Structure 1
Amino acid sequence: MNNSILHDCKVIKVFNNNVLLVSEDDKEKILFRKGIGFGKKTGDIIKSGVEIEKIFTIEDKTNYANFKELINYADQGIVALSEEIIAMISNELQEELDEKIHISLTDHIVFALKRLENNEEIENPFLVETEILYKKEFDIAKKAALTIEKATSIYIPDGEVGFIALHIHSARNKGKLSNTIKYNFISNSIIEFLEEELDIEIDKESLDYARFLAHIRFVIERFVSNNLIKNDLIPAIKKQYKSSYKIAKKSVKIIEEQFSIKVTEDEIAYLAIHIERLKQTSNKIH
């Protein structure tokens, strides 16, 4: 993903030897390349044609204002570290990321490190779901955590890895982190409902659990995108899995309330199959 600078750039801020904030053609951009900032200072010129590993531009005025505020209060070394991680994420995914990640992920890393330095670890209630549903993002987040650990000597726990993975997922989906968190909250709520209703303890490491989470996610996404499915097995499922079908009808009320939608019988029937599997592979509490 190498790029060339098209016009001469003026250095606005030197974050470290690898990350610069510059002005190019009346636009401020973040440049990442090993050694690009070595010996540079504000006002220096980076000549056109110089090869750069990653060039990021923050176009939205609100995002840019927030970024400027962030770099004014945050440790410059951590901002640079975050930008190097964002470049790594983009390279790993071979995708351009939503520009908000320069604010959201950097801000998260800044305050996460402060919390961890003070032994204030925050529990991540979506950790298991995040690792299952967004495996690629989670694997990249683990690499990001190792980079942070190497640079700061601060251990990054799995909960924080999960939070970083959510930021990565959000950046791949036009910054819709709130929906991601909402999906996970709904999945958690349905699992808790099923465990209480069925008096079982669901194995969070099982394949059936992973399938169930994915199914809930896809149910929501299909309704949000109005891409409904047809299930010709409804009569057979209602007959064979009568109890699970009734519980599925109850559980979808959580989805209906959160998204103000009506879940169809087609989806309920498929959900009943997953619930039946969970019943068979989970342990009775009493």
Structure 2
Amino acid sequence: MKNHNYEIKKIFNNNVILVSQNGEEKIILRKGLGFGKKTGDIISGDTPIEKIFVIKDEGNSSKFNQLLTKVDEDIVGMCEEIILMVSHKLNEELNEKIHISLIDHIAFTLQRLKKNDEIINPFLVETETLYRKEFQIAEKAIRIIENYTGIKVPDGEIGFITLHIHSARNKGNLSNTVKYTFLCNSIVEFIEDSLNIYIDRQSLDYARFLTHIRFAIERILTSNPIKNELLSVIKKQYKQSYKLAKNVAKIIEREIEIKVVEDEIGYISIHIEKFKNSATIY
């Protein structure tokens, strides 16, 4: 017969505790749950818990426990409360890798900031445009960090945390999230250089283009193309933009190693044509 009680392994703060239940490690969260308790204490399995996180993968569990030897307990507790907030705001379960990647990132960031060593984020605007919901949640995460530590966190960090949040919704693949953000930036710079223009990063046209590229990549990766009924008209009316769009498609193809269909190239042409008509000429 299984024992549903929790044995306390580590108390991060009054709200976050690492426990063992039937040999499985779990992170349990509830306001005031850890107050007055110590390692080895038993918490009844009937105790109301706000959230339970379980890191099931052995590799991830090992990395998490290694992280606990390097990061202060109060920082881990703060990060777990941030993860809880993110999960609540998105109303969805996050990939368990966020318990490693986000804690490691925030801990390292705080170490740098204490030394006045700031890393500039060159893709802040792109990140906000591509992942607006995650960006808004990341802003809340920054406020939690500042209130908890008293350390002023630069805006660039909002972008970095945004990528961690998005990757946790995207099967935990942070490298792909970063790659596609960089890809979008590269495409915009290629268009600027080709047309000798400057594209306003705050403009609606820019936001629409980045959003289109983001979802175009997702459609291509999932073999779910959309039909472009105006393709023949676009190729005739926007010859220069269509030619440039074909080169943009080649950039995407090199990165994701999948063919970009003509229908998608047609839609990219429309965005490029808008840039031609609205962007600032050098």
* TM-score relative to the length of structure 2: 0.97
Correspondence 1:214 to 2:220: no
Instruction: Tell me the residue number matched to 2:136.
Output: 139
Equivalent of 2:200 in 195, 200, 203: 203
Equivalent of 1:268 in 265, 268, 279: 265
Correspondence 1:71 to 2:68: yes
Correspondence 1:153 to 2:150: yes
CA distance in 1, matches of 2:215, 2:53: 32
Instruction: Tell me the residue number matched to 1:37.
Output: 34
Paired letter, 1:276: E
Query: Once the 2 structures are TM-superposed, how far is the Cα of residue 229 of structure 1 from its aligned partner?
Result: 2.1
Instruction: Tell me the residue number matched to 2:9.
Output: 12
Paired letter, 1:144: A
CA distance in 2, matches of 1:134, 1:243: 30
Q: Summarize the alignment of residues 103-122 of structure 1 with structure 2, pairs less than 5 Å apart.
A: 103-122=100-119
For 1:64-119, what per-residue CA distance to the aligned partner results, in whole angstroms no more than 9, with x for missing partners? 00000001111111011001111111111111111110000000000011111111
Paired letter, 1:156: V
Correspondence 1:98 to 2:90: no
Query: Once the 2 structures are TM-superposed, how far is the Cα of residue 232 of structure 1 from its aligned partner?
Result: 2.2
Residue aligned with 1:31, SS: strand
Instruction: Tell me the residue number matched to 2:240.
Output: 243
For 1:20-66, what per-residue CA distance to the aligned partner results, in whole angstroms no more than 9, with x for missing partners? 10011221100111111111111000012111111111100000000
CA distance in 2, matches of 1:76, 1:26: 22
Query: Once the 2 structures are TM-superposed, how far is the Cα of residue 125 of structure 1 from its aligned partner?
Result: 2.2
Correspondence 1:252 to 2:249: yes
Residue aligned with 1:49, SS: coil
CA RMSD of aligned residues (A): 1.0
CA distance in 1, matches of 2:116, 2:205: 35
Residue aligned with 1:62, SS: helix
* TM-score relative to the length of structure 1: 0.96
CA distance in 2, matches of 1:260, 1:98: 26
Query: Once the 2 structures are TM-superposed, how far is the Cα of residue 205 of structure 1 from its aligned partner?
Result: 0.5
Structure 2 gap segments, 5+ residues each: none
Query: Once the 2 structures are TM-superposed, how far is the Cα of residue 138 of structure 1 from its aligned partner?
Result: 0.6
For 1:127-177, what per-residue CA distance to the aligned partner results, in whole angstroms no more than 9, with x for missing partners? 111111111111110001000000111111111111111111111111021
Instruction: Tell me the residue number matched to 1:3.
Output: none
Query: Once the 2 structures are TM-superposed, how far is the Cα of residue 126 of structure 1 from its aligned partner?
Result: 2.0
Paired letter, 1:215: H
Query: Once the 2 structures are TM-superposed, how far is the Cα of residue 221 of structure 1 from its aligned partner?
Result: 0.9
Instruction: Tell me the residue number matched to 1:53.
Output: 50
Instruction: Tell me the residue number matched to 2:277.
Output: 280
Paired letter, 1:227: N
Residue aligned with 2:264, SS: helix
Percent of aligned positions with the same letter in both sequences?
Answer: 60
Equivalent of 2:165 in 165, 168, 182: 168
Residue aligned with 1:52, SS: coil
CA distance in 1, matches of 2:237, 2:97: 48
CA distance in 2, matches of 1:204, 1:172: 26
Residue aligned with 2:274, SS: helix
Residue aligned with 2:176, SS: helix
Query: Once the 2 structures are TM-superposed, how far is the Cα of residue 179 of structure 1 from its aligned partner?
Result: 1.2
CA distance in 2, matches of 1:152, 1:282: 43
Paired letter, 1:38: F
Instruction: Indicate how the Cα distance of structure 1 residues 236 and 31 shifts in structure 2: closer, same or farther if over 3 A, else same.
Output: same
Structure 1 gap segments, 5+ residues each: 1-5
CA distance in 2, matches of 1:191, 1:63: 36
Equivalent of 1:232 in 211, 229, 232: 229
CA distance in 1, matches of 2:18, 2:144: 21
CA distance in 2, matches of 1:156, 1:279: 37
CA distance in 2, matches of 1:218, 1:9: 44
Q: What is the number of residues matched between the two proteins?
A: 280
